[in-house]
Amino acid sequence: MKQLNYIKLEFPARSVNEGFARAAAAAFAAQMDPTMEELGDVKTAVSEAVTNAIVHAYPDTVGTVQMRLRLLDGNTLEIMVRDRGRGIPDVKKAMEPMFSTGGEERSGMGFTIMGSFMDSLRVRSAVDRGTTVTMSKRIRAKGS
C-alpha cells in the first residue's frame, strides 16, 4: 500500500502521556473524515497499546514509547506503537483474553480490545528488546 502521510512521535512511558497519544492519533485520523464511532475506535485502540507499553514494558523504570501513524491508500490508517522494554516471552499466551502480567488490578483484555476495534492487529516481541504492536483500520467514507 502506498503511504500518503505519516507522523512519528516519541514520549516517556508515563501514564500522563496516554491521553496525549490518544489526542494525537485522533487529530491525525481526522484528515480521513472518520465517523465519531471510527474515531472512538482509534482512540480506544491507541489507549490500550500505549497503556500496555507503559505498564508492562517498563515496570520498574521509565522508558520511551514510539508511535507512528500512517495514512495509506485505500483510506487505511495504520498505527504502530513500539517500546524497547522487557518484551513478551509468549505473545500467543499474552493475547489470550484475561491473561495479564500486571497484577490483579489489570483486566488482561488489552490485546482483545485492540483487536475488536481495529481491522488487523499484529504483535511482535522479543525478550529484553521490546514489543511492537501494529494495527490498521479502514476508514469508510461518510455516507457510504
Quick check: is 121 in a domain?
yes
Quick check: is 123 in a domain?
yes
Indicate the number of domains in the chain. Answer: 1
Range of the domain at 86: 3-138
First to last CA, the chain: 22
pLDDT beyond 80 at 12:
yes
Quick check: is 143 in a domain?
no
Quick check: is 73 in a domain?
yes
Chain-wide mean pLDDT for the chain?
Answer: 89
Tell me the mean pLDDT in the region 100-109. Answer: 56
Instruction: Tell me the pLDDT band of 87, cut-offs 50, 70 and 90.
Output: very high
Other C-beta atoms closer than 10 Å to the C-beta of 65 total 27
Catalytic residues, by residue number, are 48, 52, 106
**For the domain that residue 122 is a member of, what is the CATH number?**
3.30.565.10
CB 79 within 8 A of CB 136: yes
pLDDT beyond 80 at 101:
no
Quick check: is 12 in a domain?
yes
**pLDDT by residue (tens digit) across 39-61?**
999 999 999 999 999 988 998 99
107: three-class secondary structure by DSSP? coil
pLDDT beyond 90 at 1:
no
Quick check: is 74 in a domain?
yes
**Cα-Cα-Cα-Cα dihedral sign, residues 47, 50, 56, 61:** negative
- The number of residues in the chain equals 144
Q: pTM, whole model, 2 decimals? A: 0.88
- The predicted structure's pLDDT at residue 143: 56
Quick check: is 132 in a domain?
yes
Distance CA 73, CA 114 (A): 22
Take residue 47 and report the three cell numbers written for it: 489507549
Quick check: is 144 in a domain?
no
